[in-house]
């Protein structure tokens, strides 16, 4: 049987880098593709690659705001592997300024558009160009049912956020980030419908990692209780547990890090 292939988009730091570490450590047969905007500056990825046999970890340049980059990445993966079992879209930005808007007067068109491009449009384009490869996957991630008609070939994981839930929003603020994650959740839902029409299907899920100790959330750590601020390793372990249990009943939904379903 061919080795499983996973691709982590936005892998140079934070959750993306930890997803790479997790798969390399816990999936010894898997081959890994890690993408980021500037591989030359990705010291963490270079260190991971140096610590594993040649070919185990492939690092590719990918700026999700440039569709030509996405297309070129898909071409490279097609040429080198011919299929894909898991795609995790991690790259995200809180806001170009580094802080979410606290009120309407802080909103700018540039800020909203830039955040939407990275957090929602980019992952959708990555899914567009990699979906043909996921449809050729071997179903190595997730839980396969006994019924042949319900089996899946690949899994798409979009790293979302609880603040993207419209039903859960009682505080307001953070216009760009909330809107981008709500849009990403809609993309997940749409993808799950379209890619479930194929046999075998591709499963799609949005996951909220909790508040993780990364550069994105660091400006707000003082407002987070210590027991609610997670290390990246813990967050990824929890999310991969959800991925390992994913099946056709759960596709197209959003889940908290602890496996509870998030309202749209």
Can you give the CATH number for the domain in which 238 is found? 3.40.50.720
In a domain, 95, yes or no: yes
Structural domains counted in the chain: 1
- Please tell me what DSSP assigns to residue 163: G
In a domain, 228, yes or no: yes
Q: Residue 226: its pLDDT value, please?
A: 60
Phi, psi of 16 (to 5 degrees): -60, -45
In a domain, 235, yes or no: yes
Q: Residue 220: its pLDDT value, please?
A: 56
Q: What is the 3-state secondary structure (H, E, C) of the chain?
A: CCCCEEEEECCCCHHHHHHHHHHHHHCCCCEEEEEECCHHHCHHHHHHHHCCCCCCEEEEECCCCCHHHHHHHHHHHHHHCCCCCEEEECCCCCCCCCCCCCCHHHCCHHHHHHHHHHHHHHHHHHHHHHHHHHCCCCCCCCCCCCCHHHCEEEEEEEECCHHHCCCCCCCCCCHHHHHHHHHHHHHHHHHHHHHCCCCCEEEEEEEECCEECCCCCHHHHHHCCHHHEECHHHHHHHHHHHHHCCCCCCCCEEEECCCCECCC
CB 89 within 8 A of CB 127: yes
Residue found by looking up tokens 């601020």 in the block: 229
Per-residue pLDDT of the chain (264 residues; tens, 9 = 90+): 689 999 999 999 999 999 999 999 999 999 999 999 999 999 999 999 999 999 999 999 999 999 999 999 999 999 999 999 999 999 999 999 999 999 999 999 999 999 999 999 999 999 999 999 999 999 999 999 988 888 999 999 999 999 999 999 999 999 999 999 999 999 999 999 999 998 899 999 999 999 887 766 556 556 655 666 789 999 999 999 999 999 999 999 999 999 999 998
Q: Residue 254: its pLDDT value, please?
A: 97
CB 84 within 8 A of CB 5: yes
**In which region does residue 83 sit, left (phi positive, over 0), alpha (psi from -120 to 50) or beta (all else)?**
beta
In a domain, 263, yes or no: no
In a domain, 171, yes or no: yes
In a domain, 261, yes or no: no
Domain span holding position 16: 5-256
pTM: 0.94
Q: Residue 12: its pLDDT value, please?
A: 96
In a domain, 262, yes or no: no
In a domain, 97, yes or no: yes
């Amino acid at each position: 049987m061919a080795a499983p292939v996973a691709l982590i988009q936005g892998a140079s730091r934070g959750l993306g880098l930890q997803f790479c570490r997790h798969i390399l450590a816990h999936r010894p047969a898997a081959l890994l593709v890690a993408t980021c905007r500037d591989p030359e500056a990705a010291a963490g990825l270079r260190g991971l690659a140096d610590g594993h046999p040649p070919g185990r970890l492939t690092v590719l340049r990918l700026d999700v705001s440039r569709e030509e980059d996405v297309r070129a990445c898909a071409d490279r993966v097609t040429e080198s592997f011919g299929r894909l079992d898991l795609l995790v879209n991690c790259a995200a930005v809180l806001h170009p300024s580094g802080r979410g808007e606290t009120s309407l007067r802080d909103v700018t068109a540039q800020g909203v558009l830039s955040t939407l491009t990275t957090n929602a449009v980019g992952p959708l384009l990555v899914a567009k160009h990699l979906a043909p490869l996921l449809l050729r996957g071997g179903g190595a991630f997730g839980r396969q049912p006994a019924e042949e008609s319900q089996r899946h070939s690949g899994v798409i994981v979009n790293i979302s956020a609880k603040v993207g839930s419209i039903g859960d929003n009682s505080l307001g603020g953070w216009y760009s980030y909330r809107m981008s994650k709500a849009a990403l959740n809609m993309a997940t839902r749409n993808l799950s419908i379209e890619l479930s029409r194929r046999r075998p299907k591709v499963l799609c899920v949005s996951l909220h990692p909790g508040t993780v100790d990364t550069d994105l959330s660091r400006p707000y750590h003082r407002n987070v209780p210590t027991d609610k601020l997670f290390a990246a390793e813990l967050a990824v372990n929890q999310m991969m547990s959800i991925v390992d249990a994913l099946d056709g009943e759960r596709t197209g939904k959003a889940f908290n890090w602890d496996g509870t379903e998030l309202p749209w």
